[in-house]
Amino acid sequence: MNHKVAFSFADGKTSFFEVKPNELLLDAALRNGVNIPLDCREGVCGTCQGRCESGQYTQDYVDEEALSEQDLAQRKMLSCQTRVQSDASFYFDFDSSLCSAARLEEKSGIVTHVEQVSPTTAILYLDASFDARQLDFLPGQYARLHVPGTDAKRSYSFANRPNAENKLQFLIRLLPNGMMSNYIRERCRVGDEIHFEAPLGAFYMRHIERPLILVAGGTGLSALLGMLDEIAERGGCTQPVHLFYGVRQVAELCELERIHDYSARIPHFRFTPVISDDDQLWEGKRGYVPQHFDGAELREVPFDMYLCGPPPMVESVKSWLQEQELNDSNLYFEKFTENAT
């Protein structure tokens, strides 16, 4: 027997469709034109997640990186792994427009500029304006770029918000011998065409209803710049926004002017850079980012934390949150590894 399912979205819209016996929810949604964002289809990336609000369901496989035990207890689910056993309703905390527009697409852009913004970081600027249709993605998501002249693909978060001109930015960490790093250093020229797939990833800014804590490690800043650009473009938000930015050395801090500019554009914006190396000239915060969270302040009001950085940073922040038992707050994170760049 088919079951009736409702998908409701953050903008208040709802889609209804039928699910065949034993059919995966994602397949049923796609068959009915509800294009939920997806990536792995294997229960690992977490991109297709929502929350079941009523009805019975089972999930085939859920990787602990995609949903935690706490998430599962809150009936969060992965559409690509869910089968319904009754009529059911699900909630997705993004706008319904994303489901009609944001299918994974093959695109390309022309290099207009490469700017080295620190000894270890460059910003790659692409112009994809020859495509009249705006590339839709959510601030925080990423694209998989093909490294020109090779078969390699590397993933980078968009460092700006979606825009009608399709002007795109990516922060690129320059590794001693990375495929993309070597291309940027040695062969990249204005006018080069770079192919990419986008949008990808479950790390994106949800509706802002609570104070925001944004935590960047190294070039993890890229995704958070996209979110901050979006908030600034909207004229700010009703909630305080605090950006923590951890790097090893002072020289690795980049886009500081842009970050300070957010102070003028986003009310109640705070910025805390943290340096982990022992740098005698640095007068700001030292050590690791979680050492500078204010537990008492964070306990006052539940918050949404967005964290993008290397795995040790993600793990240390998760441990800190668990120790503090800040269970009413939400943590959204994206881990990246250097060999992925």
Q: Is 41 in the site for ligand FES (CB under 6 A)?
A: yes
Among the listed residues 34, 38, 223, 275, the single contact to ligand FES using CB under 6 A: 38
**Binding residues with ligand FES: total (CB under 6 A):** 13
Among the listed residues 10, 40, 117, 175, the single contact to ligand FES using CB under 6 A: 40
Q: Is 39 in the site for ligand FES (CB under 6 A)?
A: yes
Among the listed residues 30, 44, 179, 251, the single contact to ligand FES using CB under 6 A: 44
Q: Please, are residues 140 and 128 in contact by the beta-carbon 8 Å criterion?
A: no
Q: What span, in angstroms and rounded, lies between the C-alpha atoms of 332 and 336?
A: 14
Least Å from the CB of residue 219 to ligand FES: 23
Q: Is 215 in the site for ligand FES (CB under 6 A)?
A: no
Q: Is 188 in the site for ligand FES (CB under 6 A)?
A: no
Residues in 69-98 that interact with ligand FES by CB under 6 A: 78, 80
Q: What span, in angstroms and rounded, lies between the C-alpha atoms of 308 and 91?
A: 25
HSE of 200, CA atoms in CB hemisphere, 13 A: 19
Least Å from the CB of residue 286 to ligand FES: 38
Among the listed residues 24, 66, 198, 247, the single contact to ligand FES using CB under 6 A: 66
Q: What span, in angstroms and rounded, lies between the C-alpha atoms of 102 and 231?
A: 20
Among the listed residues 15, 34, 47, 184, the single contact to ligand FES using CB under 6 A: 47
CA nearest to 255, candidates 147, 166, 169: 169
Q: Is 252 in the site for ligand FES (CB under 6 A)?
A: no
> What angle, rounded to 10 degrees, do the helices at 221-233 and 256-265 form?
30
Own/partner pairs, 321-325, CB within 8 angstroms, 24+ separation: 324/295, 324/298, 324/299
CA nearest to 210, candidates 231, 238, 243, 245: 238
Residues that bind ligand FES (CB under 6 A): 38-41, 43-48, 66, 78, 80
